[in-house]
Amino acid sequence: MRISLNYTKSVEQNASIYFEQAKKAKKQLEGATIALEKSHEKLEKIKPAEIQKQVIKKKRKIHWFEKFRWFYTNEDMLFIAGRDATTNEIIIKKHTDNHDIVFHSEMSGSPFGVLKTEGKKPSKEALEECAVFVACYSKAWKLGLGVMDIFYVTPDQVTKEAPSGEFIGKGSFMIYGKKTILSVSLKLYIGKYNDLMMSAPYLAIKKHCEKYIEIKQGNKKTSDIAKKIKKQFNHDDLDDIVKILPVGSSL
């Protein structure tokens, strides 16, 4: 063991310095010992199963449609809608089949939505649900509008081909031909669908969720609303809730 001495100080002064350092080290050691004992006491109170649950938290399966806005209609058809220009583009180009139905509105910033029919004919109620969903995630929700017109068309009416001299930006498409227009009220609900948090119009949420709450238009912080919903549904992941809340909401 080597000891360094300060030649400008006397033997007594050097000894005093090392004595003070030794006292500090002893106090630090005592503090660490107390903290370790407290940790052991806490661990002893926790059951082995609870320790395993905390250490190994199994991640749930992430479904492909969760990158978009989505819900299942009261007829169990999947509906997906864009979150932004990029996801609008992806939905129309990669996830729209010939027998699907495309929803949109004339309002700028409105998402494109696609009802995955799998060749089945949807009911009037299901079509209205899809229209309500698109309306709720458009700017109309944040603006506080109570009613909005949404139209739906077939996939072959949607194209990137613009009239001569015009440009179509990312996430936007031209719609040709007749549109079927639905005037719908903006009402949205949130519930737990299996292990997923789902937002949907009333008939769909009632069909698929035992417990649900209504989300209203307002100016509360998204994070504050999400925390309240997380507590009500005892859901683990706050981000799952944040992702499905429209901007400009209240409980």
Is position 54 within any domain? no
Q: With contact defined as beta carbons under 8 Å apart, do 191 and 198 qualify? A: yes
Is position 37 within any domain? no
Is position 192 within any domain? yes
pLDDT digits (tens, 9 = 90+) for 158-217: 998 888 778 888 889 999 999 999 999 999 999 999 999 999 999 999 999 999 999 999
Lowest mean pLDDT across 7-16, 86-95, 135-144, 170-179: 7-16
Cite the beta strand spans of 64-161 per DSSP E. 69-72, 78-81, 101-104, 113-116, 147-153, 158-159
Using a pLDDT cut of 70, give the percent of the chain over it: 83
Tokens coding 146: 């109570």
Is position 208 within any domain? yes
pLDDT of residue 18: 59
Confidence of residue 15 (pLDDT cuts 50, 70, 90): low
The mean pLDDT value of the chain amounts to 88
> In Å, how far from its chain's centre is CA 203?
22
pLDDT of residue 87: 97
pLDDT of residue 165: 79
CA pair distance 66, 39, nearest whole angstrom: 40
Range of the domain at 200: 64-250
CA pair distance 135, 103, nearest whole angstrom: 10
Q: Has residue 221 got a pLDDT over 90?
A: yes
Phi, then psi, of 80 in degrees rounded to 5? -125, 145
Lowest mean pLDDT across 55-64, 118-127, 185-194, 196-205: 55-64
Q: How many domains does the chain have?
A: 1
Q: Has residue 80 got a pLDDT over 90?
A: yes
Q: With contact defined as beta carbons under 8 Å apart, do 111 and 82 qualify? A: yes
Is position 144 within any domain? yes
pLDDT of residue 55: 47
pLDDT of residue 109: 85
Is position 244 within any domain? yes
Tokens coding 215: 């989300």
Is position 124 within any domain? yes
Cite the beta strand spans of the chain per DSSP E. 69-72, 78-81, 101-104, 113-116, 147-153, 158-159, 174-175, 180-185, 188-193, 196-200, 212-220, 249-250
CA pair distance 239, 188, nearest whole angstrom: 19
For 118, residues 6+ apart whose C-beta sits below 8 A from its C-beta are: 77, 99
Tokens coding 242: 């944040």
Is position 100 within any domain? yes
pLDDT of residue 3: 61
Question: Between these two residues, 115 and 28, which has the higher pLDDT value?
Answer: 115
Q: Has residue 157 got a pLDDT over 80?
A: yes
DSSP 8-state code for residue 155: G
